[in-house]
């Protein structure tokens, strides 16, 4: 991780933050932001781009039909999720609409952060390993938890049944493959305080120049 190089040249450190669904990645993202990171959240970008009236919203409705539109005119995310997860080609079609638009907006925000003098730019990207090259980052931080734990969290926090939770977990690359390719791994298997301590250790490492 070339943190010393970046700091010597005045460049921000580029960090990719990822983790499979219900791993606790968003909690770590909030901690990094609390400690001074400029956070670029891919999920937040997706929600903004999918607002009614946007080009992405229109493209989704054109492809998937009015059944993915809620009564208030917004995107019916549970309906779209069910449709996209039903077949690989449906998920691929949704990704082909959303991912290029997200990438363009993410690039715009990165340039704005650099121009604003950001020291550490953390990109929160759930599907980093699935859709991007991890080599483009100075460091990749993976937040992980056992599948059984993540399943229970999904069922409790989102009111999902076990079959739906398993389906959402199953479409992502297994965490074991991601762990081998990550610079840092934060195991989220304990309390919030334990997660804070583990995240802080990684944050300090990110901000410590290599000799």
pLDDT tens for 168-184 read 999 899 999 999 999 99
Q: Is the pLDDT of residue 1 over 60?
A: no
Contact assessment for residue 36 and residue 120, using Cβ atoms and an 8 Å cutoff: yes
Domains in the chain, ordered, with CATH? 1-36+119-211 (3.40.50.300), 46-117 (3.40.50.300)
Q: Tell me, what's the pLDDT at 211? A: 60
Q: Greatest CA separation found in the chain?
A: 58
Q: Tell me, what's the pLDDT at 86? A: 86
Q: Tell me, what's the pLDDT at 184? A: 98
Selection from 41, 14, 15 nearest residue 27 by Cα: 41
The first and second tokens of residue 71, run together, are 């009564």
The first and second tokens of residue 77, run together, are 């995310």
pLDDT digits (tens, 9 = 90+) for 95-136: 999 999 999 999 999 999 999 999 999 999 999 999 899 999
What are the backbone angles phi and psi of residue 52, rounded to the nearest 5°?
-55, 135
Residue 113: CA atoms inside 13 Å, Cβ hemisphere, count? Answer: 22
d(CA 3, CA 127): 24
Q: Tell me, what's the pLDDT at 17? A: 98
């Amino acid at each position: 991780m070339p943190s010393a190089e970046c700091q010597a040249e005045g460049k921000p450190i580029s960090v990719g933050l990822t983790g499979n669904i219900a791993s606790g990645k968003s909690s770590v993202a909030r901690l990094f932001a609390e400690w001074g990171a400029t956070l670029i959240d891919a999920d937040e970008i997706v929600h903004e781009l999918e607002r009614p009236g946007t080009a992405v919203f229109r493209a989704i409705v054109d492809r998937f039909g009015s059944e993915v539109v809620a009564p208030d005119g917004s995107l019916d995310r549970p309906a779209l999720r069910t449709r996209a997860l039903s077949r690989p080609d449906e998920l691929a079609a949704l990704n082909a609409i959303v991912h290029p638009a997200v990438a363009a907006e993410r690039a715009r925000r990165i340039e704005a952060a650099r121009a604003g003098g950001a020291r550490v730019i953390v990109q929160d990207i759930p599907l980093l390993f699935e859709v991007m090259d991890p080599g483009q980052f100075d460091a990749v931080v993976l937040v992980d938890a056992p599948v059984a734990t993540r399943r229970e969290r999904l069922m409790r926090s989102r009111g999902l049944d076990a079959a739906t939770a398993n389906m959402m977990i199953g479409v992502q690359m297994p965490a074991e493959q991601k762990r081998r390719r990550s610079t840092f791994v934060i195991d989220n298997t304990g309390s919030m305080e334990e997660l804070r301590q583990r995240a802080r250790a990684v944050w300090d490492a990110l901000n410590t120049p290599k000799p």
